């Protein structure tokens, strides 16, 4: 896991006060990383436009222009005439290195654009002038690099009127939480961390937000040979009106390693795979997946009070879910944004819609997990796992997973891990990773994924 930070200003100040690094040293190191990325991705003699605001973000970009000026044709376009001291100093140095200052650039003349307008400190609406410049930059063809964070994304992750669309974001010192909000996913491009001249151990401090890595995935590999199916748990999946959802969850749980899987239904379920059993009772169950395709069917939640549960889908709209969550903590809750909005409203957090959830995903997930002891898995482009006020973000998701049944597969995967004695937190983390990583090597068209492809993918992780 990698630490994520809401604000890294404190880290920069600590590097200066405790380790004696000046702001100029930090900027020179930041610019060196931007320079490296440009040299790796752009032929020499290409024309680069550095679009700069007034602060330290602009200073980083201007410093980079100076470093590249011998091998590239570098122009600086200022969106503000009120530069801070560091940006002004860097501009003087860049001019001495024969970097050009332009007032009305023709964007079509450039092969690369470096966005140094705003950093992560943006906390206001942008001017119409800046919005127009960003629109023009987004329309222009060429390599696009954002310094620290694409201009237009605030440190809370909210998008101002518009935002720069980068191919690369070179973020300084430590990863910012705002880079991993769902709305940032189409804006940040490839995120590259720039070392500012001090080791990660010395630069970073404690964090309560984390980015999940592939190496965090802990699959239920079987090492002992003297075993039987009972050693790997029995998963029960409660079926509702939409029985296909339960079938998907059951197959996913079985493929994730559960020794036995039963679908609970009073009605005969056609097309059930022969290795999936059917029953009309879950009284003996230890682990249950509930809510997938439940529809209008009622479910007495009291029957789940001594179970380890995955709670999904339609149960998020039932008013009785909140008292159940208050009394039980051996749960993994897996809502998508609309379902989470319903949960927030039912739990008295306020009057939320999907847009409210998406604009405040991290904050709302954190607040939810501080009130309830269960594990929250808030699905999205970058799925969030939250527990006891801590945030864990998976950035491996992609739009190919945006299909009916994908969430049912995730619920089944998590249930399969719970059946094998993973804790709810471990099952959530590993289930989310397995779910998204299962389709990284999907070879067909991006629109063609089915839940069965996810199930096949988890077999080969």
Could you tell me whether strands 209-211 and 234-238 are parallel, antiparallel, or unpaired per DSSP bridges?
A: unpaired
Question: Helix, strand, or coil here: 184?
Answer: helix
Asked if 406 and 433 touch (Cβ cutoff 8 Å), the reply is no
Tell me if 239 is assigned to a ligand binding site.
no
Consult the annotation and say whether 108 binds a ligand.
Answer: no
Cα–Cα distance measured from residue 109 to residue 396, given in angstroms and rounded to the nearest whole number: 35
CA distances from 310 to 123, 138, 291, 364 (A): 38, 42, 8, 20
- At a CB cut-off of 8 Å and minimum separation 6, what does 396 contact? 212, 214, 433, 436, 437, 440
> Do strands 209-211 and 190-194 pair parallel, antiparallel, or not at all (unpaired)?
unpaired
Summarize the chain as % helix, strand, coil (round to 5): 40, 20, 40
Other CB atoms within 10 Å distance of the CB of residue 202: 11
Q: Is 148 annotated as a binding residue?
A: yes
State yes or no: 394 annotated in a binding site. Answer: no
Alpha-carbon gap, residue 250 to 236, rounded angstroms: 8
Beta carbons of 217 and 23 less than 8 angstroms apart = no
Distance in angstroms (rounded) separating the CA atoms of residues 307 and 315: 16
* Helix (H) or strand (E) segment spanning residue 244: helix 243-255
- Report the C-alpha gap between 13 and 7 in whole angstroms: 12
Q: Does residue 123 have a known ligand-binding role? A: yes
Bridge partners (DSSP) of residue 168 are 145, 190
Q: Does the annotation place 122 within a ligand binding site? A: yes
Residue 233 in marked binding region: no
The verdict on whether residue 120 carries a ligand-binding annotation is yes
- Establish whether 71 is an annotated binding residue: no
Distance CA 1, CA 457 (A): 23
Given a contact cutoff of 8 angstroms between Cβ atoms, the answer to whether 168 and 190 are in contact is yes
> 345-354 contacts: CB < 8 A, separation 24 or more?
346/319, 346/321, 346/322, 347/322, 347/371, 347/372
278 strand-pairing partners = 263
H/E stretch holding 74 reads strand 73-78
User: Residues forming the annotated binding site?
Assistant: 57, 115, 119-125, 148, 151
User: Residues forming the annotated binding site for (6S)-NADPHX?
Assistant: 119-125, 148
User: Residues forming the annotated binding site for K(+)?
Assistant: 57, 115, 151
């Amino acid at each position: 896991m990698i630490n994520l930070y809401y604000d890294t200003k404190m880290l920069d100040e600590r590097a200066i006060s405790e380790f004696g690094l000046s702001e100029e040293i930090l900027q020179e190191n930041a610019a060196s990383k931007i320079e490296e990325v440009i040299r790796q991705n752009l032929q020499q003699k290409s024309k680069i436009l550095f679009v700069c605001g007034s602060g330290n973000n602009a200073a980083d970009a201007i410093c980079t222009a100076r470093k590249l000026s011998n091998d590239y044709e570098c122009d600086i376009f200022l969106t503000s005439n009120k530069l801070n001291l560091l940006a002004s100093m860097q501009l003087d140095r860049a001019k001495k290195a024969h970097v050009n200052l332009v007032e009305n650039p023709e964007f079509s003349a450039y092969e690369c654009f470096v966005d140094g307008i705003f950093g992560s400190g943006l906390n206001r609406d942008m001017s119409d002038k800046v919005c127009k410049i960003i629109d023009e930059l987004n329309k222009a063809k060429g390599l696009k690099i954002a310094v620290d964070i694409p201009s237009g994304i605030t440190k809370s992750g909210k998008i101002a009127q518009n935002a720069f669309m980068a191919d690369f974001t070179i973020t300084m010192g430590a990863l910012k939480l705002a880079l991993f909000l769902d709305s940032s996913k189409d804006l940040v491009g490839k995120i590259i961390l720039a070392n500012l001249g001090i080791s990660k151990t010395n630069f970073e401090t404690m964090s309560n937000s984390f980015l999940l890595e592939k190496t965090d995935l802990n699959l239920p590999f079987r090492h002992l040979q003297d075993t039987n199916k009972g050693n790997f748990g029995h998963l029960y999946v409660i079926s509702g009106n939409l029985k296909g959802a339960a079938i998907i969850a059951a197959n996913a749980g079985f493929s994730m390693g559960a020794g036995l899987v039963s679908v609970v239904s009073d009605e005969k379920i056609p097309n059930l795979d022969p290795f999936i059993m059917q029953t009309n009772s879950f009284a003996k169950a230890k682990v249950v997946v509930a809510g997938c395709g439940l529809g209008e069917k009622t479910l007495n939640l009291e029957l789940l009070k001594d179970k380890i549960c995955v709670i999904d889908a339609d149960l998020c709209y039932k008013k009785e879910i909140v008292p159940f969550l208050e009394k039980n903590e051996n749960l993994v809750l897996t809502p998508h944004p609309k379902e989470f909005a319903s949960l927030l409203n039912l739990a008295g957090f306020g009057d939320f819609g999907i847009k409210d959830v998406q604009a405040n995903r991290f904050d709302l997930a954190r607040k939810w997990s501080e009130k309830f002891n269960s594990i929250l898995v808030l699905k999205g482009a970058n799925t969030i796992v939250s527990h006891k006020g801590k945030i864990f973000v998976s950035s491996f998701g992609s739009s190919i997973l945006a299909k009916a049944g994908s969430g049912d597969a995730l619920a089944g995967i998590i249930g399969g891990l719970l059946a094998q004695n993973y804790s709810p937190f471990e099952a959530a983390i590993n289930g989310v990773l397995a779910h998204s990583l299962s389709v990284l090597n999907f070879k067909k068209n991006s629109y063609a994924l089915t839940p069965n492809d996810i199930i096949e993918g988890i077999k080969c992780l």
